[in-house]
Amino acid sequence: MEKLAKAKTGLQENCLQEKDSFLREIAADTEKEQIFQVAADLNLFSKLTRAQSAEELAGELGTKPELTARFLDVLVSLEGLVKKDGVYFTAPMLASFLGRQDATPSRRPSRLSRHG
Protein backbone atom coordinates (compact mmCIF):
# COMPACT_ATOMS: atom_id res chain seq x y z
CA MET A 1 0.00 0.00 0.00
CA GLU A 2 2.85 2.33 0.83
CA LYS A 3 4.46 1.72 -2.58
CA LEU A 4 1.16 2.53 -4.28
CA ALA A 5 0.85 5.77 -2.31
CA LYS A 6 4.42 6.77 -3.25
CA ALA A 7 3.81 5.90 -6.90
CA LYS A 8 0.61 7.97 -6.90
CA THR A 9 2.42 10.92 -5.31
CA GLY A 10 5.22 10.64 -7.88
CA LEU A 11 2.70 10.61 -10.73
CA GLN A 12 0.93 13.64 -9.31
CA GLU A 13 4.22 15.51 -8.98
CA ASN A 14 5.15 14.66 -12.58
CA CYS A 15 1.73 15.82 -13.78
CA LEU A 16 2.09 19.06 -11.83
CA GLN A 17 5.57 19.61 -13.26
CA GLU A 18 4.29 19.00 -16.78
CA LYS A 19 1.38 21.39 -16.23
CA ASP A 20 3.73 23.96 -14.71
CA SER A 21 6.02 23.69 -17.73
CA PHE A 22 3.06 23.98 -20.09
CA LEU A 23 1.74 27.06 -18.27
CA ARG A 24 5.18 28.68 -18.28
CA GLU A 25 5.44 28.08 -22.03
CA ILE A 26 2.05 29.69 -22.62
CA ALA A 27 2.98 32.65 -20.42
CA ALA A 28 6.28 33.10 -22.25
CA ASP A 29 4.52 32.98 -25.62
CA THR A 30 1.94 35.48 -24.37
CA GLU A 31 4.70 37.83 -23.20
CA LYS A 32 6.46 37.55 -26.55
CA GLU A 33 3.19 38.22 -28.34
CA GLN A 34 2.59 41.32 -26.23
CA ILE A 35 6.12 42.59 -26.83
CA PHE A 36 5.77 42.18 -30.58
CA GLN A 37 2.32 43.79 -30.46
CA VAL A 38 3.68 46.88 -28.69
CA ALA A 39 6.51 47.05 -31.24
CA ALA A 40 3.99 46.80 -34.08
CA ASP A 41 1.73 49.43 -32.49
CA LEU A 42 4.73 51.79 -32.31
CA ASN A 43 5.60 50.92 -35.92
CA LEU A 44 9.13 50.07 -34.76
CA PHE A 45 9.90 47.50 -37.44
CA SER A 46 9.12 49.99 -40.20
CA LYS A 47 10.92 52.83 -38.43
CA LEU A 48 13.98 50.65 -37.95
CA THR A 49 14.42 49.68 -41.57
CA ARG A 50 16.74 52.66 -41.24
CA ALA A 51 19.27 52.02 -38.47
CA GLN A 52 18.90 54.27 -35.44
CA SER A 53 20.27 54.54 -31.96
CA ALA A 54 17.94 54.16 -28.99
CA GLU A 55 18.33 57.88 -28.33
CA GLU A 56 17.31 58.82 -31.88
CA LEU A 57 14.30 56.53 -31.78
CA ALA A 58 13.30 57.75 -28.31
CA GLY A 59 13.36 61.32 -29.62
CA GLU A 60 11.13 60.33 -32.50
CA LEU A 61 8.72 58.42 -30.25
CA GLY A 62 8.81 60.83 -27.32
CA THR A 63 9.97 58.10 -24.94
CA LYS A 64 12.80 57.84 -22.42
CA PRO A 65 16.05 56.72 -24.06
CA GLU A 66 16.95 54.25 -21.28
CA LEU A 67 13.59 52.49 -21.40
CA THR A 68 13.60 52.56 -25.19
CA ALA A 69 17.03 50.89 -25.22
CA ARG A 70 15.82 48.19 -22.82
CA PHE A 71 12.77 47.48 -24.95
CA LEU A 72 14.88 47.37 -28.11
CA ASP A 73 17.31 44.98 -26.41
CA VAL A 74 14.40 42.68 -25.58
CA LEU A 75 13.42 42.71 -29.26
CA VAL A 76 17.04 41.90 -30.13
CA SER A 77 16.93 38.90 -27.78
CA LEU A 78 13.72 37.76 -29.51
CA GLU A 79 15.46 38.15 -32.89
CA GLY A 80 13.07 40.83 -34.13
CA LEU A 81 15.82 43.45 -34.23
CA VAL A 82 19.57 43.45 -34.75
CA LYS A 83 21.95 45.66 -32.78
CA LYS A 84 25.28 46.55 -34.32
CA ASP A 85 27.70 49.35 -33.44
CA GLY A 86 25.17 50.97 -31.10
CA VAL A 87 22.32 51.15 -33.59
CA TYR A 88 19.25 48.99 -34.02
CA PHE A 89 17.57 47.80 -37.17
CA THR A 90 14.85 45.39 -38.14
CA ALA A 91 16.05 41.80 -38.48
CA PRO A 92 16.51 40.81 -42.14
CA MET A 93 13.79 38.16 -41.89
CA LEU A 94 11.23 40.76 -40.77
CA ALA A 95 12.55 43.42 -43.13
CA SER A 96 11.66 41.19 -46.07
CA PHE A 97 8.03 41.25 -44.92
CA LEU A 98 8.15 45.05 -44.92
CA GLY A 99 9.11 45.17 -48.58
CA ARG A 100 12.84 45.73 -48.16
CA GLN A 101 14.80 43.90 -50.78
CA ASP A 102 18.20 44.10 -49.13
CA ALA A 103 19.12 42.95 -45.65
CA THR A 104 21.54 45.81 -45.04
CA PRO A 105 20.06 48.70 -43.09
CA SER A 106 20.58 52.22 -44.28
CA ARG A 107 21.94 54.68 -41.76
CA ARG A 108 19.87 57.81 -41.46
CA PRO A 109 21.99 60.89 -40.87
CA SER A 110 21.79 62.10 -37.31
CA ARG A 111 19.65 65.15 -36.73
CA LEU A 112 22.73 66.81 -35.27
CA SER A 113 24.65 66.40 -38.51
CA ARG A 114 21.97 67.97 -40.71
CA HIS A 115 22.69 71.41 -42.07
CA GLY A 116 20.03 73.96 -42.80
Write the class of the CATH domain 43-104. mainly alpha
| Predicted local confidence at residue 66, as pLDDT | 97
Enumerate residues 6+ apart whose C-beta is below 8 A from 15.
none
pLDDT tens digits for range 63-98: 999 999 999 999 999 999 999 999 999 999 887 776
Kindly list the domain boundaries of the chain, sorted by start residue. 1-41, 43-104
| pLDDT tens column, 4-58 | 455 555 555 665 667 677 767 776 788 888 999 999 999 999 999 999 999 999 9
The answer to pTM > 0.75 is no
